[in-house]
Structure 1
C-alpha cells in the first residue's frame, strides 16, 4: 500500500529533512510541501492526501494555525504533528493525532510514526479497525464537509446538501436554500470518498445524491426536489440495494 503524504511547515529546512525521510520509505509518496495553510488546503482538495505532517508554532496574524488546519481535514486523513516543544501534545492527541514529534526527529523516530499510519490504513482496508473503527462510525461520523469555492473555505452541513453534479474538473454542490449551486475545484471521486456512504449514494458518473433528499425512485431515475437525475447502468445495483433496505407499507 502506497500512502500519499504532504507537509505543512514554515521551516524550509525541516521540510527538506522530512522529504528526504519520505524518499527512504517505500510505502510513502510526497504530494507536496507548503508553508501556507490556504495553499496547502487548496492542494489537499485536489489530491488524495492520506498522511499530513503539520507543524505547530507561531503564525502571522490572519494565518491558520496547524491545529486549526487539522480540523479542516477529512476524518480519514491521519495527522502527525511536529512542534519545537511537547507542550501542545495533549491538545493534539485530543484532535486524534496519529503521532506527535518534536522538531528535528531522527529517521528511526520518523519511521515509527509513519509505520503507525501504514498499520492504520491496512487495518481500515481489511475492515479490522476494532474499537477505533467503531468509534469513528458511532461517535465521529462527520456532519459537515469543508470545500473551497471562490477563494473561500465553506463549511457545509451534510443535511443541507441535496445532490452533487460533475462539471469537468469541478463539481456543483446543490445546497438547500441557495439559489445557485456552489462550484468547487475537485473531482467526483474525491467527493464520493469523503462523503459518508450510509448517507450519500452515487447514482450516475455525474451525480451523487443524499439519500434523504430522494423523494421518488423510478426505473431509470431518482427525483430530488423537482429535478430528475438519471441512474447509470453501472450504478443500478447499488441503487437497487439501497431501495431494498427501505421499509414498504
Structure 2
C-alpha cells in the first residue's frame, strides 16, 4: 500500500523539521513543508497530499484558519490544526472550518499518529477530489471580496482591507485563486481571474493574457511580446495583442 502523503504548514523551521522527521519515522511521506498559508494554497494542487497539518499561526497575510477556510472551498483534502493556543475564541474560529482534528502543542507521537489515522478514516478518501464549481458572481455581497464603485475590499486575516481600483496595476491567475498587485502590496484572494475580470471596470482594465489582467494606465512600455509594469514582464497573449494595441495611442 502506498504511503500516506502529508503536507505541513508551520512557520517555525525547527518545529517543521522535527515534525517531518517524526512523521517519516511513522511511515508517512512528507511531500512539502511550507511556512505560509499562501504557499500552502499554491502547493496543495501540485502535490495532491492525502492530509494537511497546519499551524494556526503562519507567516504571510493568511493565518492557518483563514487558509483552511480557503482550502475547504477548493478541495476535499482533510486537514489537522496544531497550535499552542487552546482559548475558546481560537477554537470557535477553527471549528467553523470543520477540521478533522485539533492538536494543542506540545503533543506526543502517539496522539499525532492517532489524529492522522482518525482524520483519514473520517475523510473517507485518500485522494484529492474536485471541488464544486464556484458560484457565478451575482449582485449580492460575497464574504471574501466586496466591490464598490472605486474599490475592492480584500480579506486579510481578521479584517477587510480597502484596495482602491486605481492602485491595482495587474492581476495574475494562480490556479483557482489570483494575485492582485497594487503599487505597494501583493494580495492572494479566493477568486478566479475570470471572476475578478467581471468585477473590474473594462474601461480601466484589460485581459492581455489567459493568466493576466493589467490596468492600462499602469503600462510603462511594451517590449517584444511583453508589457512592462514596475519591472515585471507580463506576456501578451496572441489572441489579445491586436485588441490591446487598438486601445493604446501609438504614434
TM-score normalised according to structure 1 size: 0.50
Q: Is the 8 A contact 1:52 1:78 kept in 2?
A: yes
With over 3 angstroms needed to count, the CA separation of the structure-2 counterparts of 1:34 and 1:155, relative to structure 1, is closer
Q: What is the 5 A alignment of 1:178-189?
A: 179-180=207-208, 182-183=210-211
Distance 1:41 1:80 in 2: 15
Alignment of 1:158-237 (within 5 A): 179-180=207-208, 182-183=210-211
Q: Does 1:155 align with 2:190?
A: yes
1:70 paired residue among 68, 71, 79? 68
Deviation at 1:15, TM superposition (A): 1.1
Instruction: After superposition, give the CA deviation of every residue in 1:3-33 in whole Å (9 maximum; x if it has no partner).
Output: 321111122232123212211333x321111
Gap change, CA 1:147 and 1:19, over 3 Å in 2: same
CA shift, 1:39, in A, is 2.8
Deviation at 1:38, TM superposition (A): 2.6
Tell me how far 1:112 sits from its aligned partner.
0.9
Match of 2:97 in 1: 95
Shift of 1:42: 2.6
Verify the 8 A CA contact 1:79 1:97 in the aligned structure 2.
yes
Q: Do the aligned partners of residues 47 and 182 (structure 1) sit closer, same or farther apart at CA in structure 2, a change above 3 Å counting? A: farther
Q: 1:125 to 1:40 in 2, by over 3 A?
A: closer
In the alignment, what sits opposite 1:105?
Answer: 107
* 1:53-82 superposed Cα distances (whole Å, 9 cap, x missing partner): 11123x67x622111111221330111111
Report if aligned partners of 2:178, 2:192 keep a CA contact under 8 Å in 1.
Answer: no
Q: CA deviation at 1:83?
A: 0.8
Greater helix share, structure number? 1
Q: What residue is the counterpart of 2:8 in the other structure?
A: 7
User: CA separation of 1:181/1:33 partners in 2, compared to 1, >3 Å: closer, same or farther?
Assistant: same
- Structure 2, unaligned runs of 5 or more: 137-175, 213-251
Q: Distance in 1 between matches of 2:116 and 2:26?
A: 9
Which residue does 1:45 correspond to in 2? 45
Residue 232 of structure 1 aligns with which residue? Answer: none
Structure 2 residue aligned with 1:22:
23
Q: RMSD of the alignment, in Å?
A: 3.7
Structure-1 separation of matches of 2:179 and 2:5: 21
Work out the number of aligned pairs and report it. Answer: 157
**Unpaired segments ≥5 residues, structure 1:** 127-136, 162-174, 185-249
Matched, 1:146 2:146: no
Residues in 2 aligned to 1:148 and 1:113: alpha-carbon distance in whole angstroms: 34
Give the TM-score normalised by structure 2. 0.50
Distance 1:51 1:94, change over 3 A: same
